[in-house]
Structure 1
Amino acid sequence: MYVKRNYGFWMTFNWSKWPFIVGTAYGFVICLLSFFSKVDFSIPWSPISIMGIAVAFYLGFKNNSSYDRTWEARKIWGSIVNNSRTFGAAVVSFVQIEDSIAIQKELIYRHIAWLTVLRHQLRLSKPWEHIESRAQVYAPNITEDYNSKLDQELSLYISQEEIQSLENKANKATQLLKIQSQRFQELKDKSAYEDFRHMEFHKLVTTFYEDQGKSERIKNFPFPRQYASTALWMTIVFSFFVPFGLLNGFKDMNGLAYWLSPFLSGLIIWIFFLMEKIGDYSENPFEGSYNDVPITSIAKAIEIDLREMINDENIPKPEEEENGFLM
């Protein structure tokens, strides 16, 4: 997520420059052919403008739908924040028995481990994501290394025995919540708290399962490819006709005015492809790209809140932006 006031123009242009470069070069080719062959390649602008309006409406639909996916993902993680704080307060308030401090720390740390596993799992690559062009130019490369980093991070929060019990599990986050639920039952059986408080813990585990499932729904179900693909092909078709339509308006001009047509072609093509690309890079809010929901930062903020509730030591600092990006 970009946290400065605006993307810089050159940052935006560098990210999306190829449609302008190719569109301008293509426009020059059309103008040169028309100029030297004396053949009129021009097409009336009216049908092209109608086509452009249709493409603009379709790109608007795609961008709105992509934004809905991103905003829904942010609301889900906002729910995780609220439910995690409630969970922390419940642990501190409800667990009041012998060795309660150690038990509270165990439960809080296991919840942080669940957050760690979940954000790693959400950043595993999917075939429809931008695997080869993730946030590596301006943003830090934060794609989670699931196979080598996860166990090292989990060792800060849970025992090696628990870590080993998660090996070869298809969904480690799900299994961690199961272990947490079993631990609550063990505490209930030891009369650490009564039925009412046990049910409150169970409700909180249920909300975490729901939030995890909602996140996985967005991660595992792509923006329908028929809509994404159609937007791209419609933009390409429209861009193909743009130089011919502009040629109609510039063909009777002399001197440098005639050669403005290729630059205007490139500019129009760039604008439409920029709209298409913004929607394309907003479809997958957990892919580790420029416009991600900052789940690493959110998870760190939750960890700080929970560890402060139990007066823990060596509490980490909040995540800081890097080159304007918070991940």
Structure 2
Amino acid sequence: MHAGRRYSLQEFLLWSRRNIYYLFIVSAVPVWLFKFAGFHWIHIPWAPVTLIGTAAALIAGFRNNATYGRSWEARQIWGAIVNSSRCWGIMSGDFIAVNAPERKRIQQGLIYRHIAWLTALRYQLREPRVWENVRVQAKYKEYSKKYSVQEWESSLEGHLEQLLSKDEINKMRNVSNKATYIIKMQSEHIARLNSQGLIDTLKYVEMVGVLKEFYEQQGQCERIKNFPYPRQYASMSTFFIHLFILMTPLGIISEFNNLGVYGIWLTIPFSMITGWVFLVLENVGESTENPFEGGANDIPITAMSRTIEIDLREMLAENDIPEPLRPVNNILM
């Protein structure tokens, strides 16, 4: 998530630098052919270019609206996770019917296991998919050098070893969906506490309800992660915009040629500016459609997990509380 006041022009130019090179070539080649090779027939009327541009703008706007919806839904899901996690922290202490030292030990186990679930979930959400962009396309890899993604640089096992017992880690070593299994272990734990009379049945039912919320929230995240923005719409937007970019210099080259000896060279900058606007619009939608992959415009699930962890550890009255994550180059992960 970009945490600055706005993207600067310098950041936009860095982000779209490869597009600028592409636009220069696409704009310069027709001018060279028209000016030096005598290919005056490559000029086309402006009307069909306008029609293609209108269609490209509409489909790009439709895509950006839909991808923003995916991003906003992801933010709402993680907002719900924050609230449910705080409820879990309170229940883990107040619902235990034993003396203070024993209650603290049980509460710590329940809270640490929940932090482990948050950790496993965010690591799973950062795993790459073939349709994602940041770790695949060079134009996004370049910008990703301005920040770091914790889940790409450290192992899940190293974090879980600090939160779960060796027996729990051994049980889930070969499990494919570790976040799901951690909730299962959480459920087994509170079921034992209920059978031992350490949690009243009504309170036990309430805690099971919160675990159900965690499962639902995880499933909602997995739905967004594992189902991409429909490829047919994404492809249409890309094809239409690139077709418009290719046609733009052909539509305006004759008009600028009429301005005088050097007027034709203005075709290049004006074609580049027009194409740049459309390509940036396309890239904005593309960079928003996968809100968990680790891009600069994604939901900051690592920072939100750290916020939850701080709240829960403070409920345990611990002294060694981690610091909140800060933006790096205005990017918060």
Q: TM-score, normalised by structure 1?
A: 0.96
CA shift digits 1:211-241 (9 cap, x unpaired)? 0000000001111111111111111111111
Q: 1:295 to 1:221 in 2, by over 3 A?
A: same
CA shift digits 1:264-285 (9 cap, x unpaired)? 1111111111111111111111
- Match of residue 125 from structure 1: 128
| Residue identity matched to 2:53 | G
Following the alignment from structure 1 to structure 2, what is the Cα–Cα distance between the partners of residues 141 and 150?
A: 13
1:26 is displaced (CA, Å) by 2.4
Matches within 5 A, 1:138-153: 138-144=146-152, 149-153=155-159
Following the alignment from structure 2 to structure 1, what is the Cα–Cα distance between the partners of residues 313 and 251?
A: 63
* Contact 2:257 2:263 (C-alpha < 8 Å) held by counterparts: no
Following the alignment from structure 1 to structure 2, what is the Cα–Cα distance between the partners of residues 153 and 54?
A: 49
The counterpart of 2:221, out of the listed 187, 195, 215, is: 215
- Match of residue 157 from structure 1: 163
Following the alignment from structure 2 to structure 1, what is the Cα–Cα distance between the partners of residues 22 and 123?
A: 38
Deviates more, 1:289-298 or 1:30-39: 30-39
User: Is the counterpart of residue 136 in structure 1 residue 144 in structure 2?
Assistant: yes
CA shift digits 1:22-63 (9 cap, x unpaired)? 222222221122123444232121221121011000000111
- Match of residue 81 from structure 2: 80
- Match of residue 35 from structure 1: 35
Following the alignment from structure 1 to structure 2, what is the Cα–Cα distance between the partners of residues 296 and 215?
A: 14
| Residue identity matched to 1:201 | M
1:257 is displaced (CA, Å) by 2.7
User: Is the counterpart of residue 318 in structure 1 residue 318 in structure 2?
Assistant: no
Following the alignment from structure 1 to structure 2, what is the Cα–Cα distance between the partners of residues 268 and 179?
A: 56
- Match of residue 172 from structure 1: 178
Structure 1 segments, 4+ long, off by >6 Å, are none
Q: Secondary structure at the match of 2:144?
A: coil
Deviates more, 1:31-40 or 1:257-266: 31-40
Deviates more, 1:202-211 or 1:220-229: 220-229
Following the alignment from structure 1 to structure 2, what is the Cα–Cα distance between the partners of residues 139 and 5?
A: 17
User: Is the counterpart of residue 91 in structure 1 residue 97 in structure 2?
Assistant: no
- Match of residue 117 from structure 2: 114
Following the alignment from structure 2 to structure 1, what is the Cα–Cα distance between the partners of residues 60 and 151?
A: 28
* Contact 1:22 1:266 (C-alpha < 8 Å) held by counterparts: no
- Match of residue 19 from structure 1: 19
User: Is the counterpart of residue 55 in structure 1 residue 56 in structure 2?
Assistant: yes
CA shift digits 1:87-118 (9 cap, x unpaired)? 11111211130311110111011100100000
1:253 is displaced (CA, Å) by 1.4
The count of corresponding residues between Structure 1 and Structure 2 is 325
Q: Secondary structure at the match of 2:288?
A: coil
Matches within 5 A, 1:277-316: 277-316=283-322
* Contact 1:301 1:318 (C-alpha < 8 Å) held by counterparts: yes
1:143 is displaced (CA, Å) by 4.1
| Structure 1: runs of 5 or more not aligned | none
- Match of residue 244 from structure 1: 250
| Structure 2: runs of 5 or more not aligned | none
CA shift digits 1:265-312 (9 cap, x unpaired)? 111111111111111111111111111100000000000001111212
* Contact 1:20 1:267 (C-alpha < 8 Å) held by counterparts: no
- Match of residue 235 from structure 1: 241
Q: 1:102 to 1:165 in 2, by over 3 A?
A: same
Deviates more, 1:93-102 or 1:299-308: 93-102
Following the alignment from structure 1 to structure 2, what is the Cα–Cα distance between the partners of residues 27 and 193?
A: 72
Q: Secondary structure at the match of 1:184?
A: helix
| Residue identity matched to 1:187 | L
Q: TM-score, normalised by structure 2?
A: 0.94
